[in-house]
Amino acid sequence: MSKTCLVTGAAGFIGSHLVDRLLLDGHSVTGIDDLSSGNLCRLPADFDLREIDIRDPDTKNVISEVNPDLIFHLAAQISVAVSAREPQFDADVNVGGALNILEAVRTIPGKNVKVLYVTSGGTVYGEPEKIPVDESITPRPLSPYGASKLAVETYLPIYERLCALSYSIIRLGNVYGPRQDPHGEAGVVAIFANAMLEGRSVNIFGDGKDERDYVFVADVVDAILKASRSEHSGPFNIGTGIGTNTNAIFEILAHHCNYKKLPIHVPPRPGDISRISLDYGKAKKELSWCPRTSLEQGLKTTVEWFGR
């Protein structure tokens, strides 16, 4: 059945892929994005995008006008490094912006809105002793970014009681794939692939032995859509359960890019964790979700997109 959907961060990497899938499935979709990191070229030419910051009071008017059945909240300050430098700014965007949206939901009378909150499993858990980590482990974030994303999770059951909304929490691994921003402090796959294809040097923070759980963007969108149709609130880990170190990512990408240079190792960044992978057993049981794209295939597809 067709739904009225609102996607925050719609012009972002994951958000734009989600918009495409929602439109393909026949839903009515409106986006919110301030375009600070999003890009209009990721969206259809006639897409209904409202260029506004999620902290702006006018966001409430947009939500009231759209009157959504589903809100997919992806807009955020996403850099661990920025959060370490500017923790107050990080909290202002990630916590304050989310509360602005939740307060807007309170103004919609007599309607049970479902909020899909997309957050980071790679940072909220910190350095868990058990790998892969499951949702029963108490999160202990090591960065202001992880703390701000976790804080919003604690508000959702409160708003469930305050205004009868429903919600699902999606904790993502390291998402990669086509459309990821290769500039600034973006994901390592996009940065490496773009640099390799242009013949530039590639920097690796630390010794490159840090492990992340890399999950392909199409699989992530599948998980978010399955959660939107589920009565389960989560949190749900969305990853592969496999940790891959940065050196291995470099080697696979170098092969697909025919890149011959050696990486340059630079000092590690503050707030980065050394290893994480996510047990997706709960998502498999309650959402019938499993990752379908192998790392090798996903990286190959990503390189082909950057090399167009």
Active site residues: 145
φ, ψ (nearest 5 deg) of residue 210: -65, 140
Cα separation, 192 vs 303, in Å, equals 10
Cα separation, 293 vs 191, in Å, equals 20
Task: Report the candidate in 125, 29, 40 with the shortest Cα–Cα distance to residue 69.
Answer: 29
Q: Burial of 32 by CB count in 10 Å (0-12 exposed, 13-18 middle, 19+ buried)?
A: buried
Start-to-end CA span in the chain (Å): 36
Tokens coding 150 = 């976790």
- Please tell me the total number of residues recorded for the chain in this structure: 308
